[in-house]
Amino acid sequence: MKMDIEKVARLARLELSEEEKVTFGNQLEQILTYMEQLNRLDTTGVEPTSHAIPVHNVFREDEVKSSFPQEEALAIAPDEERGHFKVPRIIE
C-alpha cells in the first residue's frame, strides 16, 4: 500500500523534513505490508471491540462544582491576553 505521506502529514498538522518523508514513507510501507496479514481473516459479522471492558455512559447530577482557577491554567500557556489563550490572527 502506497501512502500519500504529504497529505497525511497535513491532516496530522505535522511538518516533515524531506528526509523524514523518505524514511517514514519506506518504514510505514513495510509496516502496512505487515498489517495486510489481517486480511487473511474473514471477519464478516464480527462486532468490533473499542473497549475490552463494557463501558456505559456515566451520568451525574448537573451540579455546580469548583474548577481549576483560570489564572493557573493561563500561567502555563505559551501566550495569553486578558484571560484568553492567544494565537496568531485567524480572521482577516
Q: Which residues bind another protein (CB under 8 A)?
A: 3, 5, 8-9, 11-17, 20, 24, 27-28, 30-31, 34-35, 37-39, 41, 43, 46-53, 55, 58, 60, 68, 72-73, 75-79, 85, 87-90
- 85 DSSP β-pair partners: 80
Nearest partner of 3 among 22, 36, 25, 30, judged by Cα: 25
**What is the closest distance, in whole angstroms, from the C-beta atom of residue 30 to another protein in the complex?**
6
- Closer residue to another protein, CB minimum distance, 83 or 88: 88
Contact predicate 5/24, CB 8 Å: yes
